[in-house]
Structure 1
Amino acid sequence: MNKQQLSNALHVGGTLENALSGNYNLSASSVVQEAVKLTQKHFWQFLPATVVLTIAHILIFLVALTIMNGTPYSVMEAFIGKQQMTPDLMASARIAVFAATVLSAPLYAGASLMGLSHAIGFRTKPRHIIKGLAYALAVTLAMSFINALQSFSSQLIPLLGIFLGITFSMTILLICEKRLRPVEAMIVSFRAIIKKLIPLTLVYIVIAILFVFSYATAGLALVWALPFMFNVKGVLYREMFGVGIEVTVSQEGDDDSSSDDGNKEVFNA
């Protein structure tokens, strides 16, 4: 039996050049509507991955608090008002949040890639959460830079920290999909997003409302909010920067007949 493989590279969505020039269309309502449909379609496959990310984040947070305070309970009791929140406890809480965010960055990258896969029509499996480990060093460095800048700027002007969070929001996907270096990805994300800041801010306001609602429901709404957030980012990235896809068609047989099972589409991220 002879086997023949034909490969073609496709590009879906915008381009890096158009994103940097602001030459792309972006409707906040369309992005939110598409993300809702994607979340409904892929909810049960995506939920385990976001649960893994959440558990990893919480565990790192608790371990960091334990290392600094001997126990995580003192900070928790201060947050719920059972004891006074001292400057030392507040500082340890901030460091723990920073550590959890930075050290869970590879899993965050994996979830982001899953959202991007959904946005270009691919299904995912829970194990795809570990795809971000291939970019562990780069995404961890990027997350360190972003969180340090946000933390410092928030001390000066609270809204500045939010602004930086929005403008750097495409950094992780740019590292994974476009293979940019951390600082380069941050600059590209900032330059592209600043061109369409108003519609992008509206999208992130919707995400923020969902997370506030999640806190009001003791975190229960996070089971929807987290997958939704990553799907939103996937749709935004596709529209802004575009995604490269490799399509491989395999044909087997001497009679030039082909089987549908031989067709395989691969998203190389």
Structure 2
Amino acid sequence: MSDIYAAPAANLDLPRDDDPEAGSLERGIAGDYTFTIGEVLKEAWARSEGAKLTLNLAMLAYVVIYLAAAGIAEFALTPLIEEQPLIIAIALIIFQQLFLLAIALPLAVGIFILGVRRAASAPIAVAQIFNHYHKLLSLLGANILMTIAIFIGFALLVIPGIYLAIALMFTLALVVEKSLSPLAALSASRKAVHVRWFPIAGFCLVLMLINAVAAIPLGIGLIWTVPFSVIACGVLYRRIFGCEPETLA
């Protein structure tokens, strides 16, 4: 029988929760952290053992819930939109998108936090992706500000947009994991990533390439690489910002 989803074996080489490699918000913002892409990927691969089933089920739950919400929104609002004047129709379309964002955003961040928990040796469960709806308004605010910033960056000759897309990648996680305000989370993510923007951009590119290759044979390889990527992002987050005790509870 395949051991793809076997329980994780003890690995004394994995960093402990109190390992000096773990960062903190203050150290992250100050750029006081180090990592190599190879180290992060190696640790993430080791931590993937025994976690793939949970993470794949969490992502399946995300997809099912999003599709259900999209179907409800389509059924309830599309006929109404078609009967309204242009301005009202646009307002309804915006409302529709905000509704879907409100459903999906806390779940997506919840999956990221599962990666952070796994990176810190905390237990993970599918139901944990539902734990962050109490931060919905802050997440929506941060996501809107982040989207606007990146859009403006791409409008300014593309390169600023690419910079911001990488620099702001931890914004939503910081809203949840560090309980930061949207503006504080945007600032903290940008300052922390700016110090080592190129290595972090390289890390993101490597993950994109791994998943692109894994998707070639009918997407079967994504069963391994997507959970691995979630954990890898969690490992990098932990090395930069550390983890709050509440996150690991």
Alignment of 1:145-184 (within 5 A): 145-184=145-184
In structure 1, give the amino acid aligned to 2:229. Answer: M
Distance in 2 separating the partners of 1:231 and 1:238? 10
Determine the structure 1 residue equivalent to 2:46: 37
| Whole-angstrom distance in 2 between the partners of 1:21 and 1:154 | 27
More strand by percentage: 1
- Check whether the contact 1:11–1:245 (CA below 8 A) recurs between aligned residues: no
Aligned residue-pair number: 218
- Segment of structure 1 superposing worse, 141-150 or 29-38: 141-150
SS at match of 1:41: coil
Which moves more between the two structures, 132-141 or 164-173?
Answer: 132-141
- 2:175 aligned counterpart, secondary structure: helix
Query: 1:107 matched to which residue of 2?
Result: 107
Q: Which residue of 1 aligns with 2:248?
A: 267
2:28 to 15, 19, 35: 19
Q: Counterpart of 2:178 in structure 1: which amino acid?
A: K
Q: Write the distance in 2 (CA, Å) between the matches of 1:159 and 1:55.
A: 35
Secondary structure of the 1:199 match is helix
Partner AA of 1:35 in structure 2: A
Any gaps of 5 or more consecutive residues in structure 2? 1-16, 80-94
Compute the displacement of 1:151 (Å).
3.4
The letter for the 1-side match of 2:42 is Q
Q: Does the CA contact (< 8 Å) of 1:108 and 1:132 recur in 2?
A: no
1:148 maps to a residue whose letter is I
Q: Is the 8 A contact 1:61 1:97 kept in 2?
A: no
- More moved, 112-121 vs 207-216: 207-216
Range 143-152 or range 14-23, more displaced: 143-152
3-state SS of 2:174 partner: helix
Cα distance, 1:215 vs structure 2:
5.1
Cα deviation, residue 100, structure 1: 5.1
Equivalent-residue separation in structure 2 for 1:153 and 1:97 (angstroms): 22
Tell me: CA distance 1:66–1:167, structure 2 relative to 1, closer, same or farther (3 Å). Answer: farther
The residue that corresponds to 1:204 in the other structure is 204
Q: TM-score, normalised by structure 2?
A: 0.74
In the TM superposition, 1:1-269 aligns within 5 A as 13-59=22-68, 103-213=103-213, 216-245=216-245, 267-268=248-249
Provide the secondary structure at the position in 1 that maps to 2:132: helix
Mean Cα deviation higher: 108-117 or 36-45: 36-45
Matches of 1:66 and 1:156 in 2, distance apart?
38
Instruction: Write out per-residue CA displacement over residues 131-177 of structure 1, whole angstroms, 9 at most, x where no aligned residue.
Output: 12232221222122222332343344344333222111111221112
